[in-house]
Amino acid sequence: MTTKPFASSADTAAKTETLEELADGVWALTAEGDPNVGAVEGEDFLVAFEARATPVAARNWLRKLREHTDKPVRYLVISHYHAVRVLGASAFEADAIIAHQNTRTLIAERGQQDWDSEYARMPRLFDEPDSIPGLTWPTLTFSDRMSIDLGGARGELVLQYCGRGHTEGDIVAWLPQPKVLFAGDLVEAQAALYTGDAFHYDWATGTLDTVRSLRAEALVGGRGAVARGRSEVDAAVEQTRGFLNGMREHVGAVHEAGGTLKEAFDRTHAALAPQYGAWPIFEHCLPFNTQRLWDELTGIERPRIWTAERDHEVWDALQG
Ligand SMILES: [Zn+2]
């Protein structure tokens, strides 16, 4: 058996990006499994959703958006603290950077370690890493819900916390009028889940129930294509839940039986690979996912901090 390259370090092929207008002034840029971004037009301003890994990568997205609108970015919303979603923030020159209050806490607590970890795991996403001016600090935070009046007849954009999930501070952006949902990494569409900082039980139950209860007609997940229509939206939510429940079942069974972390990884890999193995970042994510779920089952409430060193220890023990 050949050794697998670490995480996504060998994934160097650029992806094709697709910009779609999902409703009047509601934009989504998807990229074949790379992190998605979006933007919503107000009457005379923009709300951007997610910031990409570097300012240079963010400016490449803004250049595409600027072919359609020149409104200034008043708000940049970041769905959670992960580096590939936040470190490009300076490119937007937004008046305010909005996040959940737990996201701000996580950036203070582990933002630098996460930056180092994600850069080593997914170097291709860090387009000109020297363009990053430092950690991204949210300037406006909330705990449950906040609404942005888009002006005119555009209605409101609702930012909502749905419970612990992919991290302890994920928020979604919801447009009740056109029923479009930007779900961040709480939902993936035919891309593997990263659960290395997750709360598997909460995410698979109440959090996804809340996401589904919005009854979106279009859903932009963290990665993968836009889900269009209720059946595709529900399928994306349930496929996310299915991945989580598959991990809970198989890691849980080995833990319950007194087995080892490596046995849990091997069993879970064998069980999930037929359905999910060909999806983006499956091999990358599964060791970190298994380690976090194992920790949860051992009673470690909050995710341990991933560092570049710990990443390699876990990788070598499980995928090496
Ligand atoms: Zn994430």
Q: How far is the CA of 235 from the centre of ligand 1 (A)?
A: 20
Q: Is 6 left (phi over 0), alpha (psi -120 to 50) or beta?
A: beta
Reported as a pLDDT band with limits 50, 70 and 90, residue 1 is very low
Q: How far is the CA of 254 from the centre of ligand 1 (A)?
A: 26
State pTM to two decimals.
Answer: 0.96
Q: How far is the CA of 194 from the centre of ligand 1 (A)?
A: 7
- Cα 69 to Cα 63: distance, rounded to the nearest angstrom: 10
Q: How far is the CA of 84 from the centre of ligand 1 (A)?
A: 8
pLDDT in tens, 153-164: 999 999 999 999
pLDDT in tens, 91-136: 999 999 999 999 999 999 999 999 999 999 999 999 999 999 999 9
Residue 29, beta-bridge partner list:
19, 37
Kindly write down the DSSP assignment for every residue of 86-98, as one continuous string. Answer: HTTGGGG--SEEE
Mean pLDDT of 283-309: 97
Tell me the one-letter amino acid at 167.
Answer: T
Q: How far is the CA of 166 from the centre of ligand 1 (A)?
A: 7
Number of other CB atoms surrounding residue 300 within 10 Å: 11
